């Protein structure tokens, strides 16, 4: 290594420029690898909700940083169609400049932001800005460019008022239920009052940082949580003479061996991994069939974990017990550490509070949880921690 004190100022600056260029070239290589991980669906393969969660554990990035890298990778790498054809990057000129080491990932984010406001043929201009200036100046120049291009556009008109009356539509599409509704002012205000508190951004934590979910995702999660809260309620509307329930039917051997699927009331199938997660929640009746297809055990329509046990879990765990998570008890489910299908009982010593995200992660990935000296203790997958050292949540216990 050259002794930096022996270099002239010009040589030292040139060395810094060269090394930054080399770093940017390597960042480009890294983005191509991240794009390939995304194409392979590695998150589902490893049991994670999405790729940012995988990168968060693999390289200890904040979720915001992981999402930024993934977004940039999608813009700069060739897209592969289902038929195997290769398409040019969404920002081809930007991709060329990044490959040369001329632009940073911060530049890419700003260029992408500007290109949402101007036609594609102006990418050459915007990339020219990025080659000459730092990201803050590029953003300012891009704003000026967009204004000059769009200043003659007509002013947007106010949307027509929605017709009065309550209407609701439901439709299953590609395995998801699409919901649309029109509510009168009073009903809409009640609905908004229910959703708003649940849709607030989660508190910032040292591990996950601020809540980066867009508002529509937060409101969707809030609706899902509202449904769970209703299923836990003591009084629910009746359907067919009994309180609303969801019945999952499957052979006992399949459930115990974690294979196959369960059938819902409407005939749709649910993978066994999801069945085991749903069975932790209230409002779910697990209908387990014996070898001859006869009901072997029917869960009662009560809270899976009685109120007294849940209160004890809240006192002990103080919220989600997963390492680094700071979500409060009201956002958590009680999870059987040893699943009831495997002989686990409904007790404080066999339960742990988990938020929706980490509850799903425990069921679908290789993360494991156990009790050590009465404290929930977690063990990461071998690919993340070959020693599988015990981990505890120091956020809620601090």
pLDDT tens track for 275-315: 766 666 545 545 545 544 444 443 433 336 777 788 788 88
pLDDT at 153: 58
Separation CA 117–CA 36 (nearest Å): 28
Separation CA 229–CA 304 (nearest Å): 13
Higher pLDDT, 89 or 341: 89
pLDDT at 280: 63
Q: Are 249 and 297 in contact (CB under 8 A)?
A: no
β-pairing verdict for 246-251 and 284-289: parallel
pLDDT tens track for 61-117: 999 999 999 999 988 887 766 666 667 888 999 999 999 999 999 999 999 999 999
Q: Would you tell me the crossing angle of helices 135-150 and 123-132 to the nearest 10 degrees?
A: 150
DSSP β-bridge partners for residue 150: none
Choose among 359, 386, 385: nearest CA to 376.
359
CB atoms within 10 A of CB 256: 14
CA dihedral 57, 63, 65, 66 (to 10 degrees): 60
Higher pLDDT, 197 or 278: 197
Q: What is the DSSP string of 319-356?
A: S--STT----GGGEEEEESS-GGGT--SSGGGEEEEEH
pLDDT tens track for 15-50: 899 999 999 999 999 999 999 999 899 999 999 989
CB atoms within 10 A of CB 390: 13
pTM above 0.75, yes or no: no
CA dihedral 116, 121, 125, 130 (to 10 degrees): 50
């Amino acid at each position: 290594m050259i002794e930096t004190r022996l270099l002239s100022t010009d040589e030292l600056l040139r060395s810094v420029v060269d090394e930054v260029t080399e770093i940017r070239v390597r960042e480009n290589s890294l983005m191509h690898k991240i794009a390939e991980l995304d194409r392979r669906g590695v998150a589902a393969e490893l049991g994670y909700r999405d790729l940012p969660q995988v990168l968060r554990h693999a390289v200890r990035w904040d979720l915001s940083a992981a999402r930024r890298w993934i977004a940039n990778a999608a813009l700069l790498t060739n897209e592969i169609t289902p038929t195997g054809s290769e398409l040019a990057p969404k920002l081809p000129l930007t991709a060329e400049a990044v490959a040369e080491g001329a632009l940073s990932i911060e530049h890419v984010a700003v260029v992408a932001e500007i290109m949402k406001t101007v036609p594609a043929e102006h990418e050459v201009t915007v990339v020219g800005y990025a080659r000459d200036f730092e990201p803050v100046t590029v953003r300012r120049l891009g704003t000026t460019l967009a204004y000059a291009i769009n200043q003659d556009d007509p002013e947007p008109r106010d949307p027509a008022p929605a017709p009065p009356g309550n209407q609701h539509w439901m439709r299953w599409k590609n395995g998801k239920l699409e919901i649309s509704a029109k509510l009168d002012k009073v009903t809409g205000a009640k609905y908004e009052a229910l959703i708003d508190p649940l849709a607030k951004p989660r508190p910032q934590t040292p591990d996950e940082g601020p809540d980066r979910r867009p508002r529509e995702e937060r409101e969707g999660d809030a609706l899902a949580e509202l449904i769970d809260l209703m299923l836990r309620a003591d009084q629910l509307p009746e359907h067919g003479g009994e309180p609303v329930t969801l019945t999952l039917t499957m052979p006992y051997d399949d459930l115990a061996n974690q294979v196959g699927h369960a059938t819902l009331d409407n005939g749709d199938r649910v993978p066994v991994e999801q069945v085991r997660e749903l069975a932790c929640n209230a409002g779910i009746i697990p209908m387990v069939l014996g070898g001859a297809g006869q009901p072997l055990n029917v869960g009662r329509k009560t809270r899976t974990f009685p109120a007294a046990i849940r209160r004890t879990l809240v006192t002990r765990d103080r919220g989600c017990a997963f390492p680094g998570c700071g979500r409060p008890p009201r956002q958590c489910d009680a999870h059987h550490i040893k699943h009831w299908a495997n002989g686990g009982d409904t007790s404080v010593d066999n339960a742990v509070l988990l938020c929706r995200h980490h509850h799903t992660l425990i069921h679908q990935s290789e993360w494991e949880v156990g009790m050590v000296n009465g404290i929930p203790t977690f063990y990461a997958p071998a690919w993340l921690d070959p020693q599988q050292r015990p981990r505890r949540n120091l956020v809620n216990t601090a």
